Amino acid sequence: MKQLLFLILIFFTSLSFGQTINDYYHSANRKKELKNFEGAILDYNKVIELDPTYAFSYYNRAEAKLGIQDYKGAIEDYSKNIEIYPDDRMAYYKRGIIKLALGNKEGCLDLKKAKELGLVEVNEQIKEYCN
């Protein structure tokens, strides 16, 4: 009987301290808003570890990586977001802008894809950088 009570106590204790994907995701978003980019990245890492198919965690981690000027990491995360959610016009747009800023003309392909997906605001950047 003592063993059963002990196991029940451990089970309920672990439930109260275990964080969910949503807890980590919301914590990461708050940290990002407060410009605690390193803390946000750690929380997004945990979300991705728990659910590697959660596209928006890659998108938001890319945003946090921009905050610490990790442009290569941001491109990788936008790419992973696009792999999971191929209609994300903002991910194409932001990945394209970063590529162009780094001197990679392939960024124009991303801008054109963002436009194709309905992001009309990208027309000026396409005219300026891609024609």
Average pLDDT of the chain to the nearest whole number:
90
Q: Could you give phi then psi for residue 22, rounded to 5 degrees?
A: -60, -40
Average pLDDT (2-31) is 67
Q: For 60-100, how does the pLDDT look when each residue is reduced to its tens digit (9 = 90+)?
A: 999 999 999 999 999 999 999 999 999 999 999 999 999 99
What is the rounded CA–CA span in Å between residue 93 and residue 80? 14
User: pLDDT value at position 19?
Assistant: 83
Tally of domains in the chain:
1
User: pLDDT value at position 4?
Assistant: 47
**pTM: predicted TM-score of the whole model, two decimal places:** 0.84
Closest CA to 48 of 36, 35, 64, 34: 64
Radius of gyration of the chain (CA): 20
Closest CA to 78 of 64, 68, 35: 64
Average pLDDT (109-131) is 96
User: pLDDT value at position 131?
Assistant: 82
CATH code (residue 33):
1.25.40.10
Domain span at 22: 2-129
What is the rounded CA–CA span in Å between residue 72 and residue 58? 13
